[in-house]
Amino acid sequence: MVGVSRGDGVLLLPSVVLMLALAYGYSRFADVPALVPMRRGVLAAVVGLLLLTMYNLAKPVLRTPRTIALALGAFAVVAALQISVAWVVIAAGLFGLASARGRA
Amino acid sequence: MVHLELFGRFLMISLIAFGGGQAALPLVEQMAVQDTGWLTPSTFGTAVAFGYLTPGPVLITATFVGQQVGGLFGALAATVGAFLAPWALSAATARQAARFAESRWLRAFGTGAAPVVIGILGVTVLDIAHESLVSWSYFAVGAAVFVLAAWMRTHPVVLLGVGAALGWLIGHF
């Protein structure tokens, strides 16, 4: 679950205000042709950052053939089928629960 | 009605995002881009960039998605939905919260859910790459950012600035 520690509710307010300002700015300027290449550059940077996030998330988790198979399976299912990811995550979580029960 | 949907969908994401705040991003993308068609992949990518620019948890992208879909009240509904469960947990005593986090059932659920979230993040990266890496120049920007972030530990805000500057150069020369 997403971790938010005590007191983060107050700390969140400036972020919400800033994000709102950015969102309204985006609505206004997103389609300005002169800004399209810049936006593409930012998105290319986002791809690089998300690849690193993926690596950091994967390093402690994808350590066994079972977890690697689950990740690859989810990639294939979500890429190929029009299926809500919530069901995929819940199904995988229940699989985790069932496996733990099986081992217990 | 869309406000209620925003609240409900972000509440669901916050409950199933095993692996921390970053793990919620692919779930938000699949929900806001693939399931509902609320945003294009590139608009979602911009939301992620803004998420790096703002302090606090990455799930703040909920505020952006909510605003794009339902204006100010949409932003509020999505933000409350995304942070209600973590807030409730932080309101519990430290002992109760620790007991919940260490629950055998929750951990067992996470052993199945966490790897799946990583696979889904792969799809998200591909979706954004498909719209942004339209030439080798942009591909090189993405690769350079990855290298700088991984080995030099350059701050994401700096890297987004570098991406914007290089994008401007690519577009004008």
pTM for the whole thing?
A: 0.87
**Residues sharing a CB contact under 8 Å with residue A31, sequence separation 6 or more, in sequence order:** none
- Count CA atoms closer than 13 A to B15's CA, side-chain side: 13
Chain B residues within an 8 Å CB radius of A82: 34
Tens-digit pLDDT profile for residues A49-67? 999 999 998 999 899 999 9
- B115 within 8 A of A61, measured Cβ to Cβ: yes
Mean pLDDT of chain A: 86
Chain A residues within an 8 Å CB radius of B160: 42, 45-46, 49
- B145 within 8 A of A100, measured Cβ to Cβ: no
Per-residue pLDDT of chain B (173 residues; tens, 9 = 90+): 899 999 999 999 988 887 667 788 899 999 999 889 999 999 999 999 999 999 888 889 999 999 999 999 999 999 999 999 888 877 776 777 677 767 788 888 888 899 999 999 999 999 999 988 989 999 999 999 999 999 999 999 999 999 999 999 998 88
CA distance A24 to chain B (A): 8
- B97 within 8 A of A83, measured Cβ to Cβ: no
Q: Does B92 touch chain A (CB under 8 A)?
A: no
